[in-house]
Amino acid sequence: MTGPSRAEYCVIACAEAWRGDGEVLASPMGLIPSIGARLARLTFAPELLLTDGEALLVRPDGTPEGWLPYREHLAWVTGGRRHVMMGASQIDRFGNQNISCIGDWEHPKRQLLGVRGAPANTLNNATSYWIPRHSRRVFVERVDMVCGVGYDRADGARYHRIPRVVSDLGVFDFATPDRSMRLASLHAGVTVEQVRDATGFELTVPDEVPATREPTDEELRLIREVVDPAGVRAREVTA
Amino acid sequence: MRDKTMPADEAVSRLSSGMTLGIGGWGSRRKPMALVRALLRSGITDLTVVSYGGPDVGMLAAAGRIRKLVTAFVTLDSIPLEPHYRAARERGAFELTEIDEAMFLWGLRAAANRLPFLPVRAGFGSDVMRVNPGLRTVTSPYEDGETFVAVPALRMDAALVHVNRADRSGNGQYLGPDPYFDDLFCAAADTAYVSCERIVETAELTKQGPPQTLLIRRHTVTGVVEAPNGAHFTSCAPDYGRDEAFQKTYATTPWPEFEAGFLTGDEQTYQSAVREAT
């Protein structure tokens, strides 16, 4: 078996977001988080609930086990037993996230999706982020429009939690005294300098930066043969 | 039982400029596109549109019919960003009320239940509060004392939705996996026009699907329009999936050219132009 690719380290880093969550709904947005959630479900997080991306709760092999149309999904958020991994067009030092527009909201330079469910997600259940191309355009000092709420604006909201941010370069969390972003681990082959160069704000970097853990042989087999045999993961992370 | 069936153009003729109009479906899924096309053929404009936005919003925005849009997102799903909506928004073509998906849902529920608002744990800390200075808050009168956003009712003059089956009196049936929010749109509007793939006898409805698929009740429905392929090019499971090739054509063709090619004639002309193009 060949060694893990960068995309495979990203899958592992995303999967780890759901470790220890128990019987909650994993809502991955994007390709690599979806592969990660299914991998977690097949290995160390068997209690997770998954959807087919539409209106069904499904087991990893696609067998339906429940019904979850959008109206129920939106209501489920308020119950809190959910951990979503969203994308971000911009994310800042305290985890504020933007998917709405670039530039001034009144006269946007680039209209994007809109706030979608980010404001409710971040106040109600665990919200992690996945960023396939780590750059200064995404990791910015201040986001143009706050959709997902960061630690400096959450004002102690009782259910607000951002467990992790995963990019193609590493894993980040907010385990610092002021809840600003910290480098938690580097993917194999990535340096601290690379991360600093690609980040548009001051990042906390511990003296010893751990490496993102290696996938086990069984995990690699599951990714390559069961969850993503077509290799679509390489389309999202090319390195 | 009153026969509420009517052609799409008659349904649209009952609408007028300046109305607040709700549009059912979600993104590029089961949108009442035949009714939207009828709206585009009419001179109706200056609309406040309330929608989980897809190409319905894109087309009405491109054609300059929207004065104000209330939404949480606009997307074509398989094409994440709606190009005609983007262009219109970037040139400042309409006013935008941007709220969270769940706030939108509770706004519909408030309207359907004749409540002025419903409390929602969403919005605080986000710029939804900044860009909607009219949003008010409400504090729990119980021991927890938590403060919520009081999402105002999304009351509408008219709603347009598309379902798989309906009878002549306005009982509407979805046969796919997701009802979206169409029943709420109908209940939250003063009038509602339901287009469907096929009108069937009432007794036929429970042969098409179990009783829980009968989500739209006739007391909320003003008009029923038979419009086969009426959600095209959005999906209408299980009758048909999204026409991805045609959606791509829509997304990559300059609006005036798309309009001239597909939207100058009636619905039949549209459907045959689509068949020729694909």
DSSP state string for chain A: -PPPPHHHHHHHHHHGGGTT--S-EEEE-SHHHHHHHHHHHHTT-TT-BEE-SSSEEE-TTS-EEEE--HHHHHHHHHH--EEEEE--SEE-TT--EE-SEES-TTS-SEE-S--TTHHHHHHHSEEEEEESS--TTTB-SS-SS--B--GGGSTT-TT-----EEESSEEEE--STT---EEEEE-TT--HHHHHHT-SS--B--SSPPBPPPPPHHHHHIIIIII-TT-THHHH---
- The overall average pLDDT reported for chain A is 97
Query: Does the pLDDT value for residue B105 go beyond 80?
Result: yes
pLDDT of amino acid B278:
81
- Which residues in chain A have their CB less than 8 angstroms from residue B80's CB? 113
- Given CB atoms, is B55 within the 8 Å cutoff of chain A? no
B-chain residues within 8 Å CB-CB of A109?
Answer: 90
User: B75 vs A54: CB contact, 8 Å cut-off?
Assistant: no
- pLDDT of A1 strictly over 80: no
Instruction: With cut-offs at 50, 70 and 90, classify the pLDDT of residue A156.
Output: confident
Interface predicted TM-score (ipTM) over 0.90? yes
Tens digits of residue pLDDT in B224-264:
999 999 999 999 999 999 999 999 999 999 999 999 999 99
Residue B221: φ, ψ to 5°: -115, 130
Give pTM, 2 decimals. 0.97
* Confidence (pLDDT) at B62: 98
Residue of A nearest to B88 (CA): A111
Q: What residue of B is the nearest CA neighbor of A103?
A: B90
A116 touches chain B (CB under 8 A): yes
- What residue of A is the nearest CA neighbor of B101? A117
